[in-house]
Amino acid sequence: MLMWEISFGQPPFMDYEDEHILVYNIIDGIRPKIVPGTPLEYKNLMKECWDADPLKRPDANALNLDYQNMSDELFKSEIDNLEVNKVEVNYTSSRLFTSKIHNFGNLPEPRNATEEEQE
């Protein structure tokens, strides 16, 4: 999610009011929409990190290597072309700055959503 926040400029899922629904949607494979104009290599790496199976996600060393292998010039030119929506966000929202303990009981097994489910 950090890669998405870097490309979009704000935390993902800001429009969710109910954190319980958000948790179940994430477990059900729902991910934030990728910002138009995001470099393809960056987009693919981000999707790998979002895999429901932790064993299929890259580790820190693999992430570092993949990031270093991205073409600096391509990456810079693509980032310059990002269509970032300027959304005014209230970063003083207590939801962003407070920790909460939630008891969800038995959660279902995480899975990857299909393209249709992402719509």
Structure tokens that stand for 3 in this block: 């890669």
Q: Across all residues in the chain, what is the average pLDDT?
A: 78
Q: Which domain holds residue 51?
A: 2-118
Number of domains, the chain:
1
Cα(13)–Cα(37) distance, integer angstroms: 19
The model's confidence at residue 85, banded by pLDDT at 50, 70 and 90, is very low
DSSP state letter for 54: G
pTM equals 0.69
CA 39 to chain centre: 15
Q: What is the pLDDT of residues 48-75, one digit of tens each?
A: 999 999 999 999 999 888 888 876 655 5
Q: What is the mean pLDDT of residues 19-44?
A: 88
Q: What is the mean pLDDT of residues 3-26?
A: 86
User: CA-CA distances (angstroms) from residue 71 to 8, 61, 78?
Assistant: 20, 18, 10
